[in-house]
Structure 1
Amino acid sequence: MAVLELLAERAPAARFEELLRDARREGASDTSRAELDQAVRLAARVQALISHAQQREAGLAALVDTAHDLTLVHGMDALLHEITRRARRLLNFDMAYIGLRHTSADAGFSSIRAAEGETTSRSVGLETSEDSGLGSLVQRTGAPAWSPDYLADKEIPHSPDIDSVVRAEGLHAILAVPLGHGTTVFGTLYGADRKVRHLTPDEISLMRSLGKLAGVAIERVRLLEETRAEVTELELDTSRARSSLSVQRRVEAAYIRLIDLVLDGCDPQTLAEAAAKELSGALVVRDCVGRTVVVTGTPPVLVEDDVLRWTYDAHAAGCPVPMSESGGWVAPVTAGGENLGAILLVPDEPLTDGFGVRLLQLTARAVALILLLQRTSTVAHDQIRDELLEELLSDIRSQPRQLITRARRLGIAIDEPHVMVVARPEGGSEGRAAAWASSYAHRVSGLTRFRDGCVTLLVPGEDPLRAATAVSRELTPLVGHPVTIGAAGPVSGPGRVARAHREALSCLEALTELGNLGCVATPQQMGFLGVLLSETHDVGDYIESVIGPVLDYDAQRFTELIRTLEAYFASSSSPTRAASDLHVHPNTVSRRLDRLTELLGEDWQGPERALEIQLALRLHRTRRTLQHRHGSTGPTRGSGGSAPSESSS
């Protein structure tokens, strides 16, 4: 009963020892002392059980407090530090730290994110491989792992990095438990002592419970941070949407004001001034040929070549493009794919939002509407111009007089000398080249077509080489690549346009075959090489280009100039011997040579021209012979048959 009383009073162990001493001093019997000893031992066991239960109760209470406190922490870094602090105090560790696995990009590694009780700076930030240390066992099994003396434990997979930190911190006993959510383990919670310590199952279980609570808290904070990030992004999206809506409303209001001006019948100057006021800057309106139509404000001086390049870029892109140096913008003015011009804007301040660029694009549409209203007839003329050139280049044509009349209505004197230019850019934007061709044709009162990457131009002039050089000078820097050009002419009247086009194409093909990309050539330069190297081998056009005037003269007047040419060259350019071979007087040959000079030009007896003429004569004679062999009975132009002499004509 005395033992029970002491046990009920939660007396210390010394009181029980004192009770045993009193019994021995009072001379109790051996049986009584033995029974008292057994009772004291049982009481000690009961006290140990009560103490263990109290410790578990205290641990669980501390665990509940920890769970409550972890719910109050919201930041990830603060939460990790709170977990390590609680782990250290819960089991009286010298040090506690947390390692978290990296993202999938660095899978297979963990890093120490937080520590409590460390004495060096080597622990936090340490990169650990998941195939060494206690953490590797925890990650692989999902269960706690521990060692009473880590460095001396040979069953643990060691690594030099981890061992050096453990040695620097002076750690011995280490306990590691998993951090996770559900079946996913994303980290490890460590507790360590700087002395050898054998952990009890209750301590390990308590640390395991803390790890589970910490894993849930970490996952909660992670989800909370993701939610906050999503909310922040949604707020930004909402703000951007509101800003965009505000800009759209401003653009709509400004555009309505501009359209109202157009509907009221304003001119381009009034519209440009209103647009410049909305855009706050200097504004220039240019037409399709590059002429300035309207200027508002004081725009800076710009290099014309740069302006042309930006304009063609804007037309090729179909939207405003920035000017590289001045901070301005160029917007294309188009309608149905037709180039009506461009707008140049140099704002007072850089356009930083969508308002200025969008309003500039809409202003270009309003300008296009005014230009369309003013140039309805011109738009129809452009379509007629395209149809006219297609008809001139085709084999089926209307009466020449009708074509000449139609061309004059468009301001094109097709019955006056024109040259044909076919240009092929060897790279760059086709849209830029097409836009330039349309503008150039309007500028020089010519006709144009863009097809299969080639620009075809029929422009006024008598020198094809000069016209081709002018085209190369403008188009090459514009596209930023070499431009190969073939040119022919001059021709007067619609009947010879198609032939000039074929000759220009032959020159272009000859340059390609010779590998002279980026060069310019005309039939006068290429000569018979254009016939030999072209894909079509158009011998008839070559003969016509070299001795065509002589053939026509013989056919119309029944003369023998072709025969005289052949005899002249056969006699080594001797008029006397040629007269003897022709059985005519030498004066007759002299008059015929004067006539040939009128038809072929002053330089027809030069080495190069003479070679060309002799080749054309040989080709003409061969064609004539083949025609006779095939039974041709029709008249042959320049056949050299019986006819009145040149003297009689």
Structure 2
Amino acid sequence: MSESPDLASYRRRRERELSALYATARSLTALGELDAVLESIVREAHELVGTDFTYLSLVGPDGKLTLTASQGTISPTFHEASVPSGTGVGGRVIATGAPAWVSNYLQTRDVPHDRTFDGLVVPEGMVALLGVPLLVGEEVIGVLFAADRTERPFEHDEVALLSAFADHAAIALNNARLYDESRSALKQLQAAYRTIEHQVAVTERAQAVHEALTRVVLTGGGADEIARLLVEHLRGEVTVFDRAGAVTARCALGAAIGPSPADVVEQARRTGRWATATDDAGNWHSAATVQAGDTHLGALLLARAEEPSPLDLRTLERAAQIMGLLILKETAVAEAEERVSGSLLTELLVSAAPVGPAQRARASARGVDVTALNVVVVAASDTRPAADLSRRLHAMSAQWRGLAGEHLGRAALLAVTSDPAGLAETIHGRLRRELGSAVRVVAEASGADDWGRAFEIAGRCCDLMPSLGATDRGSTTEPYALFASLFDASRAPGLDRFLADALQGLLTYDARKSTQLVATLSSYFEHSGNLTRTAAALHIHLNTLLKRLERVTSILGDDWRSPDRALPLQVALRLHALRSRLD
């Protein structure tokens, strides 16, 4: 019995469809890239089912279906199509895991509608719509859609054919996803490996720098070597500053870079770490402070065209720490030398002439010719201890072939110079810059047989200077020697008798009556006897001043204004004021 023509035609069509299905399935399995697989799925599905257009939407983490590939669409806005979870034909496919179709999408009420998606359907002209699930196991990962622009039902064979294709497509899509994930993981692994290699190289370089810097300290190197090592590893230009801000070393690779912004070193000092700034030419300037505890010891400055990396800044900080160790080491050695120098200085100041052979030999070992020492210098400050001043004098002592130290609580220096006044002014200027505050420096010329006496006079003048209005000066003892000699301890009894003869009556009256006759008389002589200016200086009425002067006359006698009485009286008042301030 032969087949009917319709049945034979159906069989031939089915054979072509199945043949095309298997051919497209094989072609999908040969693809690896996810984007290529998506484009191939919609292209092959479009040719297989023959609808006006096809598109594929994937399920996102929020359950929303988002169009990822299409074939045959005409509206550019349709490529933005997405359907919220639970709406449209796609929502039904995801919910049931089975194919679903409508003959007229906009008119059907069998599925919930989304207004935004419906607005995209109109320009595309979509009417009939078939959706089949893309299943991986029991999970729906997406929906493959076939659509026509005319109203019609979808035959069972069409649904079955697209579903079978979707099964193969889901496998290919899942394989492509796994392939992409594997490639991504491989890239991440390679990136991690490169990062590890870079970190190892960075660590090795940092370790090499640290070892080299440590070796500088152990071998007795200095700031020049540290600057050179930093330039070798960091490039650019490195400058080393001491605690006073003076440049102690500089090393550069290539052309010199312009001056750094004025505040970058100060900013590093304030923070206690590092600071970075750029100049007008775009160069980078990075400073790291050198300090021990709260004591500022200096700074390191790196200048170069490229921005420093975090490792570069850590290296600069580490170098600053090493520099701090180096300075502390040098300071410890210097302090030991200062103690020796100070001990020898004390021996020379208290020993009777001539200088003994042992002392001469100890001085000679330090490059000092005892027989040439001809000036004693004393320095004092109201803000810094004598030990600090003596350390600074010791650092300067080699310039004048001398010895420095602390003696009887004073910072002192024995030096060689033909210009004591110039020496005092030079030392004052340096100490003033280093301390940043007022300092008094007094020099007294003396031979080896009178160093102790010169030290006493210079010290006494140093104490008298503030009382005479000199709080920040370098000078010889000459301007103050007269007053210093008057207050010599050996002259104290005579001075006491002189002051008592001149002022005891006024002092006794002031003490008993709580008056100010001595102060009034001092102001009277200071203003050359001008009553108006004296009263104004004392902030009293003129009548009050006249009454006080009458009382002075009653105590001292009518002739106290005479030249023979006035001169010693003025001297006595001046000396009394100086002694009171000193006491």
TM over 0.5, yes or no? yes
TM range (shorter): 0.5 to 0.7
Measured after TM superposition, the shift of residue 577 of structure 1 is 4.3
Instruction: Please provide the CA RMSD for this pair.
Output: 4.9
Structure 2 unaligned regions, length at least 5: 338-383, 394-405, 411-429, 441-461, 465-502, 521-537, 578-583
Match of 1:316 in 2: 272
Query: In the alignment, does 2:120 pair up with 1:150?
Result: no
Q: Report sequence identity in percent.
A: 24
Could you tell me whether the CA contact under 8 Å between 1:283 and 1:345 is conserved in 2?
Answer: yes
Are residue 126 (structure 1) and residue 81 (structure 2) matched?
Answer: yes
Aligned 8 A contact 1:276 1:296 in 2: yes
TM-superposition CA deviations, 1:106-163 (whole Å, max 9, x none): x465432211122333322334444643223334444332112223324344455544
The answer to whether the Cα contact below 8 Å between 1:575 and 1:586 also exists between their aligned partners in 2 is no
Asked whether 1:100 is paired with 2:58, we answer yes
Instruction: Give the TM-score taking structure 2 as reference length.
Output: 0.56
Corresponding residue for 1:249? Answer: 204
**d(CA) in 2 for partners of 1:574 and 1:156?**
114
Tell me if 1:341 matches 2:292: no
Distance of aligned partners of 1:177 and 1:558 in 2 relative to their CA distance in 1, 3 Å threshold: farther
Query: Is the 2:58–2:65 contact (alpha carbons within 8 Å) kept by the matching residues of 1?
Result: yes
Q: Do residues 564 (structure 1) and 515 (structure 2) align?
A: yes
Distance in 1 of aligned mates of 2:132 and 2:115: 22
Match of 2:438 among 418, 436, 460: 460
Q: CA deviation at 1:233?
A: 1.9
Partner of 2:288: 331
Render the CA deviation track for 1:235-268: whole Å, top value 9, x for unaligned.
1221122123223334444544454454333333
Q: What is the distance in 1 between the residues matched to 2:296 and 2:163?
A: 77
Gaps of at least 5 residues in structure 1 are: 14-46, 382-402, 417-440, 447-456, 463-490, 494-552, 602-649
**Contact kept? 1:144, 1:208, Cα under 8 Å:** yes
How far apart, CA to CA, are the structure 2 residues paired with 1:151 and 1:354? Answer: 62
Shift of 1:82: 1.4
Give TM-score, length-normalised by structure 1: 0.51
CA gap 1:199/1:303 in 2 versus in 1, 3 angstroms: closer
Q: Residues 523-572 of structure 1, C-alpha deviation per residue, up to 9 Å, x if partnerless?
A: xxxxxxxxxxxxxxxxxxxxxxxxxxxxxx99x96552682259998978
Distance in 1 (CA, whole Å) between partners of 2:193 and 2:278 is 33
Equivalent residue for 1:370? 326
Aligned-partner Cα distance in 2 for 1:595–1:177: 121
CA distance in 1, matches of 2:96, 2:432: 83
Q: Report the residue type matching 1:82 in the other structure.
A: S
The count of corresponding residues between Structure 1 and Structure 2 is 410
The answer on whether the counterparts of 1:148 and 1:173 sit within 8 Å (CA) in structure 2 is: yes
Partner of 1:504: none
Residue of structure 1 in register with 2:144 after alignment: 189
Over 3 Å counting, the alpha-carbon distance change for 1:65 and 1:406 in structure 2 is same
Secondary structure at the aligned position of 2:328 is classed as helix
Q: Is the Cα contact below 8 Å between 1:150 and 1:172 reproduced in 2? A: yes
3-state SS of paired residue (2:47) = helix
Cα shift readout 1:609-637 (whole Å, capped 9, x = no counterpart)? xxxxxxxxxxxxxxxxxxxxxxxxxxxxx
Which one-letter code corresponds to 1:324 in the other structure? T
Q: Deviations over 1:581-620 (max 9, x none)?
A: 99966989999x999997999xxxxxxxxxxxxxxxxxxx
Q: 1:444 to 1:255 in 2, by over 3 A?
A: same
Deviation at 1:212, TM superposition (A): 4.0
Report the Cα offset of residue 328 of structure 1: 2.8
| 2:30 aligned to which of 61, 72, 91 | 72
Aligned to 2:247: 292
Aligned counterparts, 1:5-44, within 5 A: 6=2, 10=3, 12=5
Q: CA deviation at 1:406?
A: 5.3
Secondary structure (helix, strand or coil) at the match of 2:77 reads coil
How far 1:175 sits from its partner (Å)?
0.5
**Could you tell me which of 508, 526, 545 is aligned with 1:575?**
545
| Counterparts in 2 of 1:159 and 1:366: CA distance versus 1, 3 Å | closer
Aligned to 1:294, what secondary structure does the other structure show? strand
Q: C-alpha separation between the residues in 1 aligned to 2:315 and 2:152?
A: 77
1:145 touches 1:177 (CA, 8 Å); kept in 2?
Answer: yes
Rounded Cα–Cα distance in structure 2 between residues aligned with 1:300 and 1:415: 47
Q: Which amino acid aligns with 2:296?
A: N
With over 3 angstroms needed to count, the CA separation of the structure-2 counterparts of 1:357 and 1:88, relative to structure 1, is same
Matched, 1:276 2:246: no
Which 10-residue stretch deviates more, 281-290 or 142-151?
142-151
Question: How do 1:218-617 residues align onto structure 2 when only pairs under 5 Å count?
Answer: 218-297=173-252, 299-302=256-259, 305-312=262-269, 316-317=272-273, 320-325=274-279, 326-335=283-292, 338-347=295-304, 349-350=305-306, 356-376=312-332, 409=390, 459-460=437-438, 560=510, 563-565=514-516, 574-577=544-547
